Amino acid sequence: QELIAKLEATIENISDFPIPGIQFKDISPIFLDPKLYEEVIEDLVKFSKGKVDAVCGIESRGYLFGIAIAVALEVPFILIRKKGKLPPPIISEKYDLEYGSAEIETREGQIKKGQRILIHDDLLATGGTTEAAAKLVQKQGAEVVQFSFLIGLKGLNGDEKLKKFNAEIYHTLE
Ligand code: 5GP
């Protein structure tokens, strides 16, 4: 609709960044337009309203929308960070990258047992990062009930990878 058209006109597609052959979607122009930002948040909030007890955002672009979603829903926001950024005690989860591996972390005790969790990030590509985030949430006895993304890239099977969590998946834009 109108929001999708506006986003398509605003998000910049940059060829060969950060490496040759990759087309990077730069979402930073959205933040130059506060009205558009508000509309994006409204759209993402609508998907989760009344359905989650807390929002987990993935570093770092997941924070740009995630915290506003949590505030609008009046639920806690929990940071999922890259290794080494959070002070102890922490819970962590390792995952494989195309080359090598990575690790993400949350502060222990911030996610509560039995909570219904929304995991949010700006963009879903292969789903590797989000899958690790979902495992990290489950490790803490909470339930991943929703995933939301501003952008879900087609053709990389991100949605497929997330199916096993039996959670709702939403992207504003494909
Ligand atoms: P995945 O783990 O699904 O393959 O990659 C998703 C992660 O990479 C997200 O955290 C996202 O922020 C980042 N990412 C990958 N490609 C892009 C891109 O083209 N634009 C933006 N903004 N983020 C990207």
Catalytic residue among 59, 61, 103, 116: 61
Q: Which domain holds residue 93?
A: 45-173
Whether residue 33 lies inside any domain: the answer is no
Q: How far apart are CA 146 and CA 65, in angstroms?
A: 15
Whether residue 10 lies inside any domain: the answer is no
Q: What SS3 state is found at 49?
A: coil
Q: How far apart are CA 16 and CA 79, in angstroms?
A: 30
> Is position 168 annotated as part of the catalytic site?
no
- CA 24 to centroid of ligand 1, rounded, Å: 8
Whether residue 163 lies inside any domain: the answer is yes
Whether residue 9 lies inside any domain: the answer is no
- CA 129 to centroid of ligand 1, rounded, Å: 8
Question: Does the beta carbon of 127 sit less than 6 angstroms from any atom of ligand 1?
Answer: yes
> Is position 107 annotated as part of the catalytic site?
no
**Per-residue pLDDT tens digits for 45-56:** 999 999 999 999
- Sorting pLDDT into bands at 50, 70 and 90, what band is 71? very high
Whether residue 25 lies inside any domain: the answer is no
Q: What is the ipTM of this complex?
A: 0.94
Whether residue 23 lies inside any domain: the answer is no
